[in-house]
Copies of this chain bind each other. A is one copy, B any other.
Amino acid sequence: MGRTAPLAGQNSCRAVSEVLSRVGDKWSVLVIVAVRERPHRFNELKRKVGGISQQMLTSTLKTLERDGLVTRTVMPTTPPQVSYALTDLGRSLSSTLRQLAEWSIDNLATIQESRRQYDEGRPT
């Protein structure tokens, strides 16, 4: 991958695709946004995200940690507490996602309307 493609064309797409695949799963973005403002503990995140299973929260957090987007800090208390926080990289991604968030909010209704019309025309 020594390619430093100057154009935002074919090569860069693969990068976006890669990042989107990671972040485009069901929970990653929700978790990122939930943990964004301050460190959170596990069950705190679970409540805040809402609707996520333990399993998925655990694995989502693990993946995010592996990717260097969140940090995991174990507090040696009893019972043990674990604190999750966004890294600089995670915050950077979070900012970038904000643009997409705005687009989504602005256009989600349009998309849903488009779907409805499409489905009407094809009742089969």
Q: Give A contacts to B, CB under 8 Å.
A: 1, 5, 8-10, 12-26, 29-30, 33-34, 50, 65-69, 89, 92-93, 96-105, 107-111, 113-115, 118-119
Cross-chain contact A105 with B5 (CB below 8 angstroms)? yes
Known: A16-B29, A29-B13, A101-B15. A67 touches B111 (CB 8 A): yes
Number of copies: 2
Cross-chain contact A12 with B105 (CB below 8 angstroms)? yes
Main secondary structure of the interface of A (DSSP, over half): helix
Of A10, A16, A33, A118, most buried by chain B (CB within 10 Å of CB) is A16
Task: For residue A113, give the distance in angstroms from its CB to the closest CB of chain B.
Answer: 8
Of the candidates B5, B16, B115, B118, which one forms a contact with A100 in the assembled complex, judged by CB atoms under 8 Å apart?
Answer: B16
